[in-house]
Amino acid sequence: MRTVAVVGASLAGLSAARSLRKQGFDGRLIVIGDEQHRPYDRPPLSKEFLAGTVREADLALETDGEDLQAEWLLGVRAAGFDPGDHAVRLADGRSVRADGVVIATGATARMLPGGDGLDGVHTLRTLDDARALRADLARGGRLVVIGGGFIGAEVASTAYGLGLDVTVVEAAPTPLAGPLGEVMGGVVSTLHADHGVRLLCGVGVKGLSGSARVDAVLLEDGRSIPADTVVIGVGARPCVEWLEGSGVVLDDGVKCGADGRTSVAGVVAVGDCASWYDPFAGVHRRVEHWTGARERPDAAVAALLSAGAATPAAPRPPYFWSDQYGVRIQFAGHSAGADSVTVEEGLPDERSFLAVYRRSGHPVAVLGMNQPRLFTRWRKQLATATL
Amino acid sequence: MMIPACRLADLPRGEAHRLDLDPPVSLFHTDDGEVFAIDDTCTHQDASLADGWLEGSEVECPLHASKFDLRTGAVDSPPAKLPVRTHQVLIEDGMIYVQPSTEAPNLPPCIAARLAGGPA
């Protein structure tokens, strides 16, 4: 393999480029990114960066002096893929031919219909999004966050810290029920009320009002919530349009095996755009977690360089974290298969506890609030149990 | 200056012990029976490495995925970019002593900003 193209220059793409060099690939390495920025870290965008305690320079993922001997094509989008000669077609008309291709094009924030014509309406995915939102939050006033998931909750928490009047609107009866289950989703979302942030659940959003700038969020039950700024945090969809018709099989993202290999030889996919086969659940699923984007490229690159002969190490259970209102939330494992969840240590009311999810008595997931040490031990135990 | 840290008998293998120095330092007793001292705070974000995942002679930050080498302080991957300081360890009569490094520590931006802003 003489040339490898990594399409996507965020954490998953950078991790893939690093894995390639670490695993001995010494050929031509091309990294293509649609943003102008060098690889940067996204988690602080909803927290420290938005709050102004972390600067742009701190977000850089590359270390000083790091040189992957890569050609960086930044500020240009991948527009198509020809599997015949492994050519990635770029939006500016250029084409990059490679023996191996790593797809790492990520996901893009979902917008509400009619939401993108008004000033003051934001999604949060990129550094540019965060800059724009930070400027609007600096105006103060009333913020309405649509979506009570982790991004929405973190933005609400940060904005509360900046002194804004914050309302969170969540269509489901309980926020975070998807990742955490009903009971623990309810427990974690009580953090909003602790700080006087209004949480409206079980009500959908009908639309936004305003002429040039947004002035209210209109709910399906007829209420209208005044807003100076609105953040839409209703999930993300994989950026895979450029692969349509290319022969790379798509199914809510790029469909991959348990080692990231796609339907096309010499092509692997990693990060938020990739739907890997999950041997634990027996289904394909996209895992939109930082840790997956950091760790999975190792296995995908091994599969790419060995043409699938390498046996990937069993992945650790999915892990993610969130910081809200000064509370550290950590989760590992799979809550979906659980039939019970019990608090093993601490007290939910004190916002410091550890809860274990079990299926037929066996731990399958663990949730910690402000319990990093205990959480680490349980996470380790889960990892060993699934080997 | 050697600082008495704790008794070796009170620090089982696989465990860590944090010293409330400024900045905090942590001792790690590896499964192989070696004892190391490094700065306790991850260089990326305010997290105690003593709460982390100890494996071999590496500790993984309890929050994210960066691993620090207990022998050298080197970090393997993002989000942390800078190494932690290592400190000399001496074990005498069952007691662990630490000689703090005189190098400047690599503190995460949030803490460095707080310190630069003077006393809170």
State the CATH number of the domain containing residue B91. 2.102.10.10
Q: Is the pLDDT at B119 greater than 60, yes or no?
A: no
Q: What is the pLDDT of residues A215-234, one digit of tens each?
A: 999 999 999 999 999 999 99
Range list of H helices, A231-371: 290-305
Chain A residues near residue B82 by CB distance under 8 angstroms: 63
Q: Is the pLDDT of residue B116 over 80?
A: no
CB contact under 8 A, B109 and A321: no
Q: Say if the Cβ atoms of B109 and A58 lie within 8 Å.
A: yes
- Pairs of CB atoms within 8 A across A/B: 52
What three-state secondary structure class fits B25?
A: strand
Compute φ and ψ for A129, nearest 5 degrees: -60, -45
ipTM over 0.90: no
Q: Is pLDDT above 60 for B2?
A: yes
Q: How close A226 gets to chain B, by Cα (Å)?
A: 33
Q: What is the mean pLDDT of residues A323-341?
A: 94
A52 reaches B (C-beta below 8 A): no
- The reply to whether residue A64 touches residue B79, judged by beta carbons under 8 angstroms, is no
- Which residue of A lies nearest to B60 if distances are taken between CA atoms? A376
- Is any Cβ of chain A less than 8 angstroms from the Cβ of B42? no
- Cβ of B62 within 8 Å of Cβ of A15? The answer is no
The candidate with the shortest Cα–Cα distance to A146, out of A131, A166, A116, is A166
Question: Which three-class secondary structure state does DSSP give residue A5?
Answer: strand
Q: Side chain identity at B27, as an amino acid letter?
A: L
More confident residue, A359 or A336: A359
| φ/ψ (deg, to 5) at A266 | 80, 10
How far B78 CA sits from the closest chain A CA (Å)?
6
Residue A335 has pLDDT above 50, yes or no: yes
Segment B7-32 shows an average pLDDT of 96
Average pLDDT score, chain A: 95
CA dist A101 and B12 (Å) reads: 47
pLDDT tens track for A30-71: 999 999 999 999 999 999 999 999 999 999 999 888 999 999
pLDDT band at A280 (very low <50, low <70, confident <90, very high): confident
**A143 C-beta neighbours (distance < 10 Å), count:** 28
What is the rounded distance in angstroms from the CA atom of residue A214 to the CA atom of residue A229?
Answer: 7
- Backbone φ, ψ for residue A72 (5° rounding): -100, 120
Q: Are A331 and A320 in contact (CB under 8 A)?
A: yes
Q: How many domains does chain B have?
A: 1
Chain A positions in Cβ-Cβ contact with residue B49 (cut-off 8 Å)? none
Q: What span, in angstroms and rounded, lies between the C-alpha atoms of A236 and A126?
A: 12
Strand, coil or helix: A351? coil
- State yes or no: cis peptide before B105, omega within 30 of 0: no
β-pair type (B16-19, B25-29): antiparallel
pLDDT at A131 over 80: yes
Grade residue A387 by pLDDT with cuts at 50, 70 and 90. very low
pLDDT band at A313 (very low <50, low <70, confident <90, very high): confident
Chain A positions in Cβ-Cβ contact with residue B52 (cut-off 8 Å): 376
> How large is the greatest C-alpha to C-alpha distance in chain B, in angstroms?
43
- Domain of B60 in residue numbering reads as 3-116
Contact between A53 and B113 using a beta-carbon 8 Å cutoff: yes
pTM of the full structure: 0.93
Round the average pLDDT of chain B to a whole number and report it: 92
Provide mean pLDDT across the span A75-86: 96
pLDDT of B117: 59
Q: B42, B44, B45: which to substitute to probe chain A, counting the most A Cβ within 10 Å?
A: B45
Q: Which of A55, A294, A321 sits opposite B63 (nearest CB)?
A: A321
Does any CB of chain A come closer than 8 Å to the CB of residue B48?
A: yes
pLDDT band at residue B55 using 50, 70 and 90 as cut-offs: very high
Does B52 contact chain A (CB < 8 Å)?
yes
